[in-house]
Structure 1
Amino acid sequence: MLQIAVCDDNIEELSNMVQLIDLYRTSKNFNCQYAVFTNGFELVSVLEKGKRFDIYCLDIIMPGFTGIDVAKEIRGFDKTAPILFFTSSPEYALESYSVKAINYILKPISKEKLFFTFDELLEQIKAKKDENAIIVKSSEGIQKILISNLVFAEVIGRNVLYHMHSGKIIECTEAFSSVCDNLVKHGCFIRPHRSYLVNMQYVDTIQNHQITLQTLSFVPVAQGRAKEMKAQYLNYQMEGE
Protein backbone atom coordinates (compact mmCIF):
# COMPACT_ATOMS: atom_id res chain seq x y z
CA MET A 1 0.00 0.00 0.00
CA LEU A 2 1.48 3.34 -1.08
CA GLN A 3 1.58 6.24 1.36
CA ILE A 4 0.91 9.72 -0.06
CA ALA A 5 1.54 13.10 1.60
CA VAL A 6 -0.51 16.06 0.37
CA CYS A 7 0.54 19.54 1.53
CA ASP A 8 -1.28 22.79 0.65
CA ASP A 9 -2.12 25.83 2.76
CA ASN A 10 -5.29 26.46 0.71
CA ILE A 11 -8.02 24.35 2.30
CA GLU A 12 -10.17 24.33 -0.84
CA GLU A 13 -7.27 23.17 -2.99
CA LEU A 14 -6.35 20.57 -0.39
CA SER A 15 -9.91 19.28 -0.33
CA ASN A 16 -9.98 19.12 -4.13
CA MET A 17 -6.76 17.09 -4.19
CA VAL A 18 -8.10 14.64 -1.63
CA GLN A 19 -11.34 14.19 -3.59
CA LEU A 20 -9.41 13.53 -6.80
CA ILE A 21 -7.10 11.03 -5.09
CA ASP A 22 -10.15 9.26 -3.65
CA LEU A 23 -11.70 9.19 -7.13
CA TYR A 24 -8.49 7.80 -8.61
CA ARG A 25 -8.22 5.20 -5.87
CA THR A 26 -11.77 3.99 -6.50
CA SER A 27 -11.77 4.02 -10.30
CA LYS A 28 -8.30 2.47 -10.66
CA ASN A 29 -8.56 0.08 -7.70
CA PHE A 30 -5.46 1.82 -6.36
CA ASN A 31 -4.35 0.68 -2.91
CA CYS A 32 -3.12 3.75 -1.02
CA GLN A 33 -3.42 5.85 2.09
CA TYR A 34 -2.86 9.60 2.29
CA ALA A 35 -2.14 12.20 4.95
CA VAL A 36 -2.92 15.90 4.55
CA PHE A 37 -0.90 18.84 5.86
CA THR A 38 -1.88 22.51 5.79
CA ASN A 39 1.72 23.73 5.96
CA GLY A 40 5.23 22.47 5.37
CA PHE A 41 6.24 22.63 9.02
CA GLU A 42 3.66 19.94 9.89
CA LEU A 43 4.94 17.62 7.18
CA VAL A 44 8.62 18.04 8.05
CA SER A 45 7.83 17.50 11.74
CA VAL A 46 6.27 14.14 10.90
CA LEU A 47 9.29 13.18 8.77
CA GLU A 48 11.65 14.04 11.61
CA LYS A 49 9.80 11.48 13.74
CA GLY A 50 10.60 8.76 11.22
CA LYS A 51 7.46 8.69 9.07
CA ARG A 52 8.03 8.17 5.34
CA PHE A 53 5.80 8.54 2.29
CA ASP A 54 6.04 6.98 -1.15
CA ILE A 55 4.72 10.08 -2.95
CA TYR A 56 4.78 13.78 -1.96
CA CYS A 57 2.25 16.22 -3.48
CA LEU A 58 3.26 19.76 -2.59
CA ASP A 59 1.94 23.23 -3.23
CA ILE A 60 4.84 25.59 -3.86
CA ILE A 61 3.52 28.97 -2.72
CA MET A 62 2.98 28.61 1.02
CA PRO A 63 3.70 31.29 3.64
CA GLY A 64 6.84 30.96 5.73
CA PHE A 65 7.96 27.62 4.35
CA THR A 66 7.53 27.13 0.61
CA GLY A 67 7.04 23.85 -1.20
CA ILE A 68 10.62 24.13 -2.47
CA ASP A 69 11.82 24.46 1.14
CA VAL A 70 9.78 21.41 2.12
CA ALA A 71 11.17 19.43 -0.82
CA LYS A 72 14.73 20.24 0.24
CA GLU A 73 13.95 18.90 3.71
CA ILE A 74 12.40 15.78 2.20
CA ARG A 75 15.53 15.16 0.16
CA GLY A 76 17.49 15.21 3.41
CA PHE A 77 15.48 12.16 4.50
CA ASP A 78 14.67 10.55 1.17
CA LYS A 79 16.61 11.11 -2.04
CA THR A 80 14.40 9.11 -4.37
CA ALA A 81 10.71 9.42 -3.42
CA PRO A 82 8.66 11.13 -6.17
CA ILE A 83 7.82 14.78 -5.48
CA LEU A 84 4.94 16.36 -7.42
CA PHE A 85 4.47 20.11 -7.37
CA PHE A 86 0.96 21.48 -7.85
CA THR A 87 1.00 25.27 -8.05
CA SER A 88 -0.77 28.29 -9.47
CA SER A 89 2.46 29.92 -10.68
CA PRO A 90 4.91 28.74 -13.37
CA GLU A 91 7.80 30.86 -12.07
CA TYR A 92 9.26 28.10 -9.87
CA ALA A 93 9.44 25.46 -12.58
CA LEU A 94 13.20 25.71 -13.00
CA GLU A 95 13.86 25.67 -9.27
CA SER A 96 11.78 22.51 -8.91
CA TYR A 97 14.46 20.58 -10.79
CA SER A 98 16.98 21.35 -8.05
CA VAL A 99 15.09 19.01 -5.72
CA LYS A 100 14.56 16.39 -8.44
CA ALA A 101 10.81 16.90 -8.65
CA ILE A 102 9.20 14.36 -10.93
CA ASN A 103 6.52 16.72 -12.24
CA TYR A 104 5.33 20.33 -12.05
CA ILE A 105 1.62 20.85 -12.67
CA LEU A 106 -0.25 24.14 -12.86
CA LYS A 107 -3.50 24.61 -10.98
CA PRO A 108 -6.42 24.22 -11.20
CA ILE A 109 -5.95 20.48 -10.84
CA SER A 110 -8.51 18.63 -12.92
CA LYS A 111 -9.43 14.97 -12.88
CA GLU A 112 -7.71 14.53 -16.26
CA LYS A 113 -4.47 16.13 -15.04
CA LEU A 114 -4.28 14.11 -11.85
CA PHE A 115 -5.24 10.80 -13.47
CA PHE A 116 -2.66 11.23 -16.25
CA THR A 117 0.06 12.23 -13.77
CA PHE A 118 -0.63 9.36 -11.38
CA ASP A 119 -0.83 6.82 -14.21
CA GLU A 120 2.65 7.84 -15.36
CA LEU A 121 4.02 8.00 -11.83
CA LEU A 122 2.79 4.56 -10.81
CA GLU A 123 4.33 3.01 -13.91
CA GLN A 124 7.67 4.58 -12.95
CA ILE A 125 7.36 3.41 -9.34
CA LYS A 126 6.62 -0.15 -10.45
CA ALA A 127 9.60 -0.21 -12.80
CA LYS A 128 11.87 1.27 -10.14
CA LYS A 129 10.77 -1.23 -7.49
CA ASP A 130 11.47 -4.12 -9.81
CA GLU A 131 14.95 -2.72 -10.40
CA ASN A 132 15.79 -1.75 -6.81
CA ALA A 133 15.11 -5.06 -5.12
CA ILE A 134 16.80 -8.32 -4.23
CA ILE A 135 15.35 -11.81 -4.12
CA VAL A 136 16.13 -13.98 -1.08
CA LYS A 137 15.22 -17.48 0.06
CA SER A 138 14.07 -17.44 3.66
CA SER A 139 12.35 -19.94 5.93
CA GLU A 140 9.06 -18.48 4.66
CA GLY A 141 9.98 -19.08 1.02
CA ILE A 142 11.19 -16.88 -1.83
CA GLN A 143 10.81 -13.17 -0.99
CA LYS A 144 11.45 -9.88 -2.73
CA ILE A 145 13.11 -7.22 -0.56
CA LEU A 146 12.87 -3.62 -1.70
CA ILE A 147 16.11 -1.76 -1.10
CA SER A 148 14.15 1.29 0.05
CA ASN A 149 12.60 -0.79 2.87
CA LEU A 150 15.81 -2.47 4.05
CA VAL A 151 17.38 -0.66 7.02
CA PHE A 152 20.35 -2.93 7.66
CA ALA A 153 21.54 -6.52 7.37
CA GLU A 154 23.55 -8.48 9.90
CA VAL A 155 25.03 -11.94 10.11
CA ILE A 156 24.75 -14.16 13.18
CA GLY A 157 26.49 -17.48 12.79
CA ARG A 158 25.40 -18.81 9.38
CA ASN A 159 22.19 -16.77 9.30
CA VAL A 160 21.72 -13.39 7.66
CA LEU A 161 19.03 -11.16 9.17
CA TYR A 162 17.44 -8.48 7.00
CA HIS A 163 15.95 -5.74 9.20
CA MET A 164 13.06 -4.02 7.43
CA HIS A 165 11.64 -0.53 8.02
CA SER A 166 8.36 -2.11 9.15
CA GLY A 167 10.19 -3.88 11.99
CA LYS A 168 9.99 -7.27 10.28
CA ILE A 169 13.14 -9.40 10.23
CA ILE A 170 13.70 -11.77 7.31
CA GLU A 171 16.11 -14.57 8.17
CA CYS A 172 18.08 -16.47 5.52
CA THR A 173 20.94 -18.94 5.44
CA GLU A 174 23.50 -17.61 2.98
CA ALA A 175 27.05 -16.30 2.79
CA PHE A 176 27.26 -12.77 4.13
CA SER A 177 30.00 -11.96 1.62
CA SER A 178 27.54 -12.64 -1.21
CA VAL A 179 24.91 -10.51 0.51
CA CYS A 180 27.36 -7.62 0.73
CA ASP A 181 28.38 -8.00 -2.91
CA ASN A 182 24.73 -7.85 -4.01
CA LEU A 183 23.77 -4.90 -1.82
CA VAL A 184 26.76 -2.61 -2.33
CA LYS A 185 25.90 -2.49 -6.04
CA HIS A 186 22.94 -0.29 -5.12
CA GLY A 187 25.26 2.47 -3.91
CA CYS A 188 23.54 3.27 -0.63
CA PHE A 189 25.18 0.75 1.73
CA ILE A 190 28.20 1.00 4.02
CA ARG A 191 29.85 -1.73 6.06
CA PRO A 192 30.80 -0.28 9.46
CA HIS A 193 31.53 -3.70 10.93
CA ARG A 194 32.30 -7.10 9.44
CA SER A 195 28.91 -8.38 10.61
CA TYR A 196 26.76 -5.44 9.48
CA LEU A 197 25.72 -3.64 6.32
CA VAL A 198 23.76 -0.40 6.71
CA ASN A 199 21.46 1.44 4.30
CA MET A 200 22.61 5.08 4.40
CA GLN A 201 19.07 6.25 3.65
CA TYR A 202 18.30 5.41 7.30
CA VAL A 203 21.41 6.79 9.00
CA ASP A 204 20.73 9.39 11.68
CA THR A 205 24.14 9.89 13.27
CA ILE A 206 27.58 8.28 13.01
CA GLN A 207 29.67 8.25 16.16
CA ASN A 208 33.05 6.69 16.89
CA HIS A 209 31.68 3.36 18.05
CA GLN A 210 28.14 3.15 16.70
CA ILE A 211 25.67 4.31 14.05
CA THR A 212 22.24 5.43 15.19
CA LEU A 213 19.52 4.76 12.64
CA GLN A 214 16.27 6.63 12.09
CA THR A 215 14.42 3.54 13.31
CA LEU A 216 16.23 4.02 16.66
CA SER A 217 18.33 0.89 16.10
CA PHE A 218 22.07 0.91 16.80
CA VAL A 219 24.79 -0.69 14.70
CA PRO A 220 28.39 -1.02 15.95
CA VAL A 221 31.29 0.63 14.16
CA ALA A 222 34.52 -1.35 14.16
CA GLN A 223 37.51 0.26 15.82
CA GLY A 224 39.18 2.78 13.54
CA ARG A 225 36.42 2.75 10.91
CA ALA A 226 34.38 5.77 12.02
CA LYS A 227 36.32 8.26 9.90
CA GLU A 228 35.88 6.14 6.77
CA MET A 229 32.16 5.68 7.46
CA LYS A 230 31.64 9.42 7.91
CA ALA A 231 33.47 10.13 4.65
CA GLN A 232 31.41 7.58 2.72
CA TYR A 233 28.18 8.95 4.19
CA LEU A 234 29.19 12.52 3.34
CA ASN A 235 29.96 11.50 -0.26
CA TYR A 236 26.58 9.78 -0.46
CA GLN A 237 24.81 12.92 0.75
CA MET A 238 26.75 15.15 -1.66
CA GLU A 239 25.94 12.92 -4.64
CA GLY A 240 22.25 13.28 -3.91
CA GLU A 241 22.25 17.07 -3.92
Structure 2
Amino acid sequence: MGSTTRIEEADHMRIRVAIVEDDPLFLRQATTFVELFGEQTGRDFSVTTFNSATTFLKEFNANFDILLLDILMPSYNGIEVAQEVRKSDENLAILFITSTPQYAIKGYTVDALSYILKPLSWPAFEVEFSRAVDHVLAEERPTIMLQSGAKYYQVPHHTINYIESRQHKISVHTDDRDITVPYTLSALEERLSPAGFYRINSYYLVNMTHVESVEGQNCVLDTGVELKISRARKKGFIEALTRHLSDDGAS
Protein backbone atom coordinates (compact mmCIF):
# COMPACT_ATOMS: atom_id res chain seq x y z
CA MET A 1 0.00 0.00 0.00
CA GLY A 2 1.39 3.39 -0.97
CA SER A 3 1.84 6.04 1.67
CA THR A 4 -0.52 9.01 1.82
CA THR A 5 0.78 12.47 2.64
CA ARG A 6 -1.70 14.73 4.39
CA ILE A 7 -1.46 18.40 3.52
CA GLU A 8 -2.90 20.51 6.32
CA GLU A 9 -3.53 24.20 5.65
CA ALA A 10 -1.57 23.97 2.40
CA ASP A 11 -4.35 25.55 0.35
CA HIS A 12 -6.06 27.56 3.08
CA MET A 13 -4.44 29.72 5.66
CA ARG A 14 -6.21 29.83 9.01
CA ILE A 15 -8.11 33.10 9.17
CA ARG A 16 -8.33 34.52 12.67
CA VAL A 17 -11.54 36.35 13.53
CA ALA A 18 -12.21 38.57 16.55
CA ILE A 19 -15.82 39.39 17.45
CA VAL A 20 -16.43 42.30 19.84
CA GLU A 21 -20.06 42.49 20.90
CA ASP A 22 -21.60 43.25 24.30
CA ASP A 23 -24.96 41.61 23.51
CA PRO A 24 -24.68 37.85 24.22
CA LEU A 25 -27.37 37.01 21.64
CA PHE A 26 -25.63 38.79 18.77
CA LEU A 27 -22.24 37.51 19.94
CA ARG A 28 -23.46 33.91 19.69
CA GLN A 29 -25.18 34.54 16.39
CA ALA A 30 -22.12 36.13 14.78
CA THR A 31 -19.95 33.26 16.02
CA THR A 32 -22.40 30.72 14.57
CA PHE A 33 -22.43 32.53 11.23
CA VAL A 34 -18.62 32.52 11.01
CA GLU A 35 -18.59 28.78 11.76
CA LEU A 36 -21.31 28.19 9.15
CA PHE A 37 -19.31 30.17 6.59
CA GLY A 38 -16.31 27.95 7.33
CA GLU A 39 -18.36 24.80 6.89
CA GLN A 40 -19.82 25.96 3.59
CA THR A 41 -16.55 27.20 2.09
CA GLY A 42 -14.13 24.66 3.58
CA ARG A 43 -12.04 27.47 5.01
CA ASP A 44 -10.35 27.28 8.40
CA PHE A 45 -11.35 29.96 10.91
CA SER A 46 -10.40 30.48 14.53
CA VAL A 47 -12.82 32.70 16.41
CA THR A 48 -12.05 34.70 19.56
CA THR A 49 -14.95 36.52 21.20
CA PHE A 50 -14.93 39.58 23.47
CA ASN A 51 -17.97 40.87 25.34
CA SER A 52 -16.47 44.31 25.92
CA ALA A 53 -14.32 46.78 24.04
CA THR A 54 -12.11 47.22 27.09
CA THR A 55 -11.20 43.53 27.21
CA PHE A 56 -10.52 43.46 23.48
CA LEU A 57 -8.21 46.48 23.54
CA LYS A 58 -6.34 45.06 26.54
CA GLU A 59 -5.65 41.79 24.68
CA PHE A 60 -5.29 43.07 21.11
CA ASN A 61 -1.88 42.29 19.60
CA ALA A 62 -2.37 42.80 15.87
CA ASN A 63 -2.69 39.09 15.22
CA PHE A 64 -6.27 39.00 13.91
CA ASP A 65 -7.25 39.02 10.25
CA ILE A 66 -10.92 40.03 10.51
CA LEU A 67 -12.65 42.10 13.19
CA LEU A 68 -16.44 42.03 13.63
CA LEU A 69 -17.07 45.08 15.78
CA ASP A 70 -20.24 46.36 17.44
CA ILE A 71 -20.55 50.15 17.30
CA LEU A 72 -22.69 51.03 20.32
CA MET A 73 -20.99 49.67 23.44
CA PRO A 74 -20.33 50.97 26.96
CA SER A 75 -16.95 52.61 27.70
CA TYR A 76 -15.81 52.74 24.06
CA ASN A 77 -17.84 52.87 20.89
CA GLY A 78 -16.76 50.83 17.88
CA ILE A 79 -15.31 53.81 16.03
CA GLU A 80 -13.00 54.60 18.96
CA VAL A 81 -11.94 50.95 19.15
CA ALA A 82 -11.17 50.92 15.43
CA GLN A 83 -9.12 54.09 15.76
CA GLU A 84 -6.98 52.41 18.44
CA VAL A 85 -6.61 49.27 16.31
CA ARG A 86 -5.47 51.24 13.28
CA LYS A 87 -2.51 52.61 15.26
CA SER A 88 -0.88 49.17 15.10
CA ASP A 89 -2.66 47.32 12.29
CA GLU A 90 -3.46 48.96 8.96
CA ASN A 91 -4.48 45.75 7.18
CA LEU A 92 -7.07 44.28 9.54
CA ALA A 93 -10.43 43.79 7.79
CA ILE A 94 -13.02 45.59 9.95
CA LEU A 95 -16.76 44.93 9.63
CA PHE A 96 -19.08 46.91 11.89
CA ILE A 97 -22.18 45.30 13.39
CA THR A 98 -24.84 47.90 14.13
CA SER A 99 -28.52 48.73 14.32
CA THR A 100 -27.75 52.37 13.43
CA PRO A 101 -26.33 52.69 9.91
CA GLN A 102 -25.79 56.44 10.33
CA TYR A 103 -22.99 55.62 12.79
CA ALA A 104 -21.53 53.03 10.45
CA ILE A 105 -20.88 55.68 7.81
CA LYS A 106 -18.20 57.07 10.14
CA GLY A 107 -16.49 53.69 9.83
CA TYR A 108 -15.00 54.68 6.53
CA THR A 109 -12.78 57.16 8.38
CA VAL A 110 -11.02 54.13 9.91
CA ASP A 111 -10.91 52.16 6.67
CA ALA A 112 -13.71 49.76 7.61
CA LEU A 113 -14.69 47.45 4.77
CA SER A 114 -18.42 47.60 5.41
CA TYR A 115 -21.11 47.10 8.02
CA ILE A 116 -23.74 44.47 8.82
CA LEU A 117 -27.11 45.58 10.12
CA LYS A 118 -28.85 44.13 13.17
CA PRO A 119 -30.84 41.98 13.45
CA LEU A 120 -28.32 39.76 11.72
CA SER A 121 -29.46 37.78 8.70
CA TRP A 122 -27.42 35.03 7.08
CA PRO A 123 -27.66 36.34 3.46
CA ALA A 124 -26.41 39.81 4.42
CA PHE A 125 -23.73 38.38 6.72
CA GLU A 126 -22.50 35.98 4.03
CA VAL A 127 -22.08 38.75 1.46
CA GLU A 128 -20.17 41.12 3.73
CA PHE A 129 -18.08 38.45 5.43
CA SER A 130 -17.08 37.12 1.99
CA ARG A 131 -15.69 40.57 1.20
CA ALA A 132 -13.62 40.48 4.36
CA VAL A 133 -12.25 37.01 3.56
CA ASP A 134 -11.37 38.14 0.02
CA HIS A 135 -9.55 41.13 1.52
CA VAL A 136 -7.48 38.87 3.78
CA LEU A 137 -6.63 36.41 1.02
CA ALA A 138 -5.62 39.23 -1.31
CA GLU A 139 -2.91 40.37 1.08
CA GLU A 140 0.57 39.08 0.45
CA ARG A 141 1.32 37.02 3.53
CA PRO A 142 4.43 34.90 2.98
CA THR A 143 4.30 31.37 4.32
CA ILE A 144 6.68 28.51 5.01
CA MET A 145 5.85 24.84 4.44
CA LEU A 146 6.78 22.75 7.48
CA GLN A 147 6.79 18.97 7.78
CA SER A 148 5.85 17.30 11.05
CA GLY A 149 5.66 13.52 10.87
CA ALA A 150 3.29 12.61 8.04
CA LYS A 151 1.69 16.06 7.99
CA TYR A 152 2.64 19.23 6.17
CA TYR A 153 1.64 22.67 7.44
CA GLN A 154 1.71 25.88 5.44
CA VAL A 155 2.42 28.44 8.15
CA PRO A 156 2.23 32.22 7.56
CA HIS A 157 5.46 33.88 8.75
CA HIS A 158 3.59 36.42 10.87
CA THR A 159 2.01 33.67 12.99
CA ILE A 160 5.40 32.26 14.10
CA ASN A 161 6.52 33.72 17.43
CA TYR A 162 9.83 31.89 17.82
CA ILE A 163 11.55 28.61 17.05
CA GLU A 164 13.23 26.58 19.77
CA SER A 165 15.92 23.91 19.75
CA ARG A 166 15.73 21.75 22.86
CA GLN A 167 16.92 18.19 23.54
CA HIS A 168 17.51 17.47 19.86
CA LYS A 169 13.99 18.63 18.95
CA ILE A 170 13.01 21.71 16.98
CA SER A 171 9.69 23.29 17.97
CA VAL A 172 8.03 26.05 15.94
CA HIS A 173 5.88 28.08 18.34
CA THR A 174 3.00 29.74 16.48
CA ASP A 175 -0.11 31.63 17.57
CA ASP A 176 -2.21 28.49 17.23
CA ARG A 177 0.03 25.51 17.95
CA ASP A 178 3.53 24.17 18.53
CA ILE A 179 4.89 22.18 15.59
CA THR A 180 7.79 19.74 16.01
CA VAL A 181 9.83 19.58 12.80
CA PRO A 182 12.76 17.46 11.57
CA TYR A 183 14.96 20.42 10.56
CA THR A 184 17.99 21.99 12.19
CA LEU A 185 17.77 25.46 13.67
CA SER A 186 20.50 26.57 11.25
CA ALA A 187 18.44 25.39 8.26
CA LEU A 188 15.39 27.32 9.46
CA GLU A 189 17.56 30.35 10.19
CA GLU A 190 18.78 30.32 6.59
CA ARG A 191 15.20 30.12 5.27
CA LEU A 192 13.69 32.71 7.60
CA SER A 193 16.41 35.31 8.22
CA PRO A 194 15.39 37.32 5.12
CA ALA A 195 11.83 37.42 6.51
CA GLY A 196 12.77 39.19 9.75
CA PHE A 197 13.86 36.33 11.99
CA TYR A 198 17.01 36.53 14.13
CA ARG A 199 18.91 33.88 16.06
CA ILE A 200 19.47 35.28 19.55
CA ASN A 201 21.43 32.30 20.93
CA SER A 202 22.10 28.61 20.26
CA TYR A 203 18.51 27.67 21.10
CA TYR A 204 16.17 30.38 19.80
CA LEU A 205 15.27 31.95 16.47
CA VAL A 206 12.82 34.82 17.04
CA ASN A 207 10.40 36.64 14.78
CA MET A 208 11.34 40.29 15.26
CA THR A 209 7.77 41.33 14.45
CA HIS A 210 6.75 39.81 17.80
CA VAL A 211 9.52 41.41 19.88
CA GLU A 212 7.98 43.81 22.39
CA SER A 213 11.13 44.85 24.25
CA VAL A 214 14.72 44.01 25.12
CA GLU A 215 15.35 44.05 28.86
CA GLY A 216 18.96 43.41 29.83
CA GLN A 217 19.86 40.04 28.31
CA ASN A 218 16.21 39.10 27.74
CA CYS A 219 14.12 39.38 24.61
CA VAL A 220 10.45 39.86 25.58
CA LEU A 221 7.84 38.82 23.02
CA ASP A 222 4.33 40.25 22.73
CA THR A 223 3.02 36.94 24.09
CA GLY A 224 4.88 37.56 27.36
CA VAL A 225 7.53 34.90 26.68
CA GLU A 226 11.05 35.94 27.72
CA LEU A 227 14.05 34.45 25.92
CA LYS A 228 17.73 34.85 26.78
CA ILE A 229 19.98 36.70 24.33
CA SER A 230 23.60 35.55 24.27
CA ARG A 231 26.15 38.30 24.94
CA ALA A 232 27.88 37.57 21.65
CA ARG A 233 24.68 38.11 19.67
CA LYS A 234 23.09 41.02 21.52
CA LYS A 235 24.73 43.85 19.59
CA GLY A 236 23.87 42.30 16.24
CA PHE A 237 20.32 41.59 17.40
CA ILE A 238 19.74 45.18 18.55
CA GLU A 239 21.03 46.47 15.21
CA ALA A 240 18.86 44.02 13.23
CA LEU A 241 15.81 44.84 15.35
CA THR A 242 16.34 48.57 14.81
CA ARG A 243 16.55 48.06 11.05
CA HIS A 244 13.48 45.83 11.10
CA LEU A 245 11.40 48.39 12.99
CA SER A 246 12.63 51.15 10.71
CA ASP A 247 11.70 49.15 7.59
CA ASP A 248 8.24 48.41 9.02
CA GLY A 249 7.66 52.06 9.73
CA ALA A 250 8.65 53.02 6.22
CA SER A 251 6.44 50.46 4.52
1:23-54 CA distance string (max 9 Å, x none): 54565566656454343102223447xx9655
Aligned to 1:180: 189
CA gap of 1:33–1:170, structure 2 versus 1, over 3 A, is closer
TM-superposed deviation, 1:144 = 2.4
**Counterpart AA for 2:192:** L
Aligned partner of 1:111 among 122, 133, 144: 122
Aligned to 1:43: 56
Aligned partner of 2:70 among 46, 59, 72: 59
Tell me the percent identity. 20
TM-superposed deviation, 1:16 = 5.5
**Counterpart AA for 2:200:** H
TM-superposed deviation, 1:134 = 0.7
Which structure has more RCO (C-alpha within 8 Å, separation ≥ 6)? Answer: 2
Aligned partner of 1:4 among 17, 22, 27: 17
TM-superposed deviation, 1:200 = 3.2
Alignment pair present for 1:136 and 2:149: no
The 5 A counterparts of 1:1-241 are 3-9=16-22, 14=27, 17-18=30-31, 20-21=33-34, 24=37, 32=45, 34-47=47-60, 53-74=64-85, 80-87=91-98, 88=101, 89-97=103-111, 101=112, 103-105=113-115, 107-108=117-118, 109-126=120-137, 131-140=141-150, 142-154=152-164, 161-174=171-184, 176=186, 179-186=188-195, 189-191=196-198, 193=200, 195=202, 196-221=204-229, 222-225=233-236, 227-229=238-240, 231-232=242-243, 234-235=245-246, 238-239=249-250
1: CA distance between counterparts of 2:227 and 2:90? 22
CA gap of 1:29–1:152, structure 2 versus 1, over 3 A, is closer
Q: Helix, strand or coil: the match of 1:224?
A: helix
CA RMSD of aligned residues (A): 4.0
Structure 2 gap segments, 5+ residues each:
1-13
Contact 2:20–2:68 (Cα < 8 Å) also in 1: yes
Deviates more, 1:111-120 or 1:69-78: 69-78
Deviates more, 1:134-143 or 1:10-19: 10-19
Aligned residues between the structures: 230
1: CA distance between counterparts of 2:21 and 2:171? 40
2: CA distance between counterparts of 1:110 and 1:2? 22
Contact 2:162–2:207 (Cα < 8 Å) also in 1: yes
2: CA distance between counterparts of 1:158 and 1:81? 38
2: CA distance between counterparts of 1:141 and 1:29? 19
Contact 1:132–1:147 (Cα < 8 Å) also in 2: yes
